Amino acid sequence: MTKKILAALLAAGLLLTGCGGEKTSSDDKSTFTYGTVAYGVAMENAGTNPHESYSGWSAIRYGIGETLFKFNENMQLETWIAESFEQVDDFTLKIKIKDNVTFSNGKKVDGDAVKKCLEHLIAVHDRAPKDLKITSITADGQFVTIKSAEKVPALLNYLSDPYGCIIDVDAGITDGIAIGTGPYKAVKVTDTQIDLVKNENYWDAVKPKLEKITVKSITDGDTLTMAMQNGELDAVQGLPYSSLQLFNDANKFKLSQAETSRVYQAAFNFKTPVLQDLNVRRAISMAIDKENFTQVLLSGNGTPAVGPFPANLNFGDTKVTAAPYDIDAAKNLLAEAGWTDTNGDGYVDKDGKNLELNYLTYTSRQELPLLAESAQASLKKIGVKLNINATDNYKTFLKNGDYDIFSKAIVTAPTGDAEYYFTSHIVSGAVDNAGFYDSAEITALENELHNTFGADKRSDIAIKMSQQVLDDCALFYAAHLKMSLVMKANVTGFNAHPSDYYEITSAVEKK
């Protein structure tokens, strides 16, 4: 027993030593250490080869590579490696490459290099061929011409997805290192760390300022917090919300935030008989206290959501409406649907059965269990009993259909276009349509969207589709995530971007 007490005391001692100590990393202004929760095997983005799974995100995020086009703060397209483009016809796109772009190995980027890269991409990548639907690519000097098998109105957006990062295919990929055109080049890549050095051949006017950058994957929020506190890191992404207040001292730290299109949503399972009643779905949607969820539980690091897309997008939250938070109205709707508390147990019932629903979610996104518990408490107010199953084994339950509500986090517009979200989550039979929502209006609108060119026209259709989903109360949307980067006060040029994939750029500097 004394041994156990001794062990406990020693463990406590260790914990305290872990918290203490003001150890600062080198104050060398040319090196930069960045801690992130978003890199690693679990995120499917280990390595820097954009033609493999989600590793393109790492290539773009850490300044190794660039795409033909990029998104601005409003998620609108701008040129990057490309200088201009011309939509020749519905199936043909002609792109001109900037004349002065070079890979980090000094080789010039011309039409032929881009052609080789894209051909390799569609030959080996899992998602790209389905998005791009390319039949042929031809190169001529600084021009590339892309022909698609069918109309792909969002082709430019898809080319700006991180998988479209232009790399030197001829140079090959050795030890996970891809040769891109970015301000930094990788020298060592492992599943937990990327070491970068300045790209001396960087083409753009703004040259990289740092000699060496180390990107470290630290997936435990507490470890990340402490590493930032004791000065081991210069900047950090993915801190737990409750830790952000530790970095309020403006003399020591800075915060950069951006609203992203990551949404916390919950889909109603239309195979559950009680949920086939619109009034029940609407009542549940109206009982979710989004304001308090974002303000208190996310500590203000999010905005209450109306629909699937954030307000900074043209087809975002300001253009759609959803039933407001109103407990009394929700109770009335349930009563209209025949659900009242006849036996006084606090839960509404019909034909002798309580309204009890299984709520499935997972824990690897820290916000989801918080949403689950707050939804459970809110729904209790209208007499609906929610049984939460928060497990990272959720795919088994999904497969077995063992849920009435499924809540997840999803980036709805990774390429600034809405179609991806609808085809993957909303249209009937879509792979991630967990609620088996089936609407003729949605199907018709999706057909229209699929054949419509022009950002404005596409936005109009996307708004109609989002509104249809909200009118049908097929899902409820709780919040859009604000991503936060915390950095030391002397770091400049390091800003959060709504796309979630532009982090290290040539502007990053330590003053």
Binding residues (CB under 8 A) for other proteins: these are: 1, 4, 8, 19, 221-222, 225, 240-243, 245-246, 289, 292, 295-297, 363, 366, 369-370, 372-374, 376-377, 380, 387-393, 396-397
Q: How far is the CB of 18 from other proteins (least distance, A)?
A: 11
Q: How far is the CB of 293 from other proteins (least distance, A)?
A: 8
Q: Considering the complex, state which of residue 318 and residue 376 has its C-beta at the smaller distance from other proteins.
A: 376
Q: How far is the CB of 1 from other proteins (least distance, A)?
A: 6
Q: How far is the CB of 377 from other proteins (least distance, A)?
A: 4
Helices 440-450 and 455-471 cross at an angle (nearest 10°) of 170
Beta carbons within 10 angstroms of residue 123's beta carbon: 10
Q: Considering the complex, state which of residue 71 and residue 241 has its C-beta at the smaller distance from other proteins.
A: 241
End-to-end CA distance of the chain: 55
Task: Quote the tokens at residue 23.
Answer: 């150890």
**388 contacts 376 by C-beta, under 8 angstroms:** yes
Beta carbons within 10 angstroms of residue 236's beta carbon: 27
Q: Considering the complex, state which of residue 72 and residue 242 has its C-beta at the smaller distance from other proteins.
A: 242
Q: Considering the complex, state which of residue 76 and residue 391 has its C-beta at the smaller distance from other proteins.
A: 391
- β-bridge pairing 69-71 and 77-79: antiparallel
Q: How far is the CB of 367 from other proteins (least distance, A)?
A: 12
Q: How far is the CB of 393 from other proteins (least distance, A)?
A: 5
Q: How far is the CB of 222 from other proteins (least distance, A)?
A: 6
Task: Quote the tokens at residue 401.
Answer: 């259909």
Q: Considering the complex, state which of residue 247 and residue 494 has its C-beta at the smaller distance from other proteins.
A: 247
Helices 327-336 and 278-286 cross at an angle (nearest 10°) of 170
Q: How far is the CB of 231 from other proteins (least distance, A)?
A: 16
3-state secondary structure of 300: coil
The H or E element spanning position 56 is: helix 55-61
Phi, psi of 65 (to 5 degrees): -135, 170
Q: Considering the complex, state which of residue 128 and residue 286 has its C-beta at the smaller distance from other proteins.
A: 286
Q: How far apart are CA 260 and CA 313, in angstroms?
A: 10
Alpha helix ranges (H) inside 245-390: 278-286, 290-292, 327-336, 367-381
Q: Considering the complex, state which of residue 170 and residue 373 has its C-beta at the smaller distance from other proteins.
A: 373
Q: Considering the complex, state which of residue 54 and residue 253 has its C-beta at the smaller distance from other proteins.
A: 253
Length of the chain: 511
Half-sphere exposure of 360 (CA within 13 A, CB side): 20
**221 contacts 366 by C-beta, under 8 angstroms:** yes
Q: Considering the complex, state which of residue 244 and residue 475 has its C-beta at the smaller distance from other proteins.
A: 244
Q: How far apart are CA 132 and CA 303, in angstroms?
A: 32
Q: How far is the CB of 368 from other proteins (least distance, A)?
A: 11
Half-sphere exposure of 108 (CA within 13 A, CB side): 9
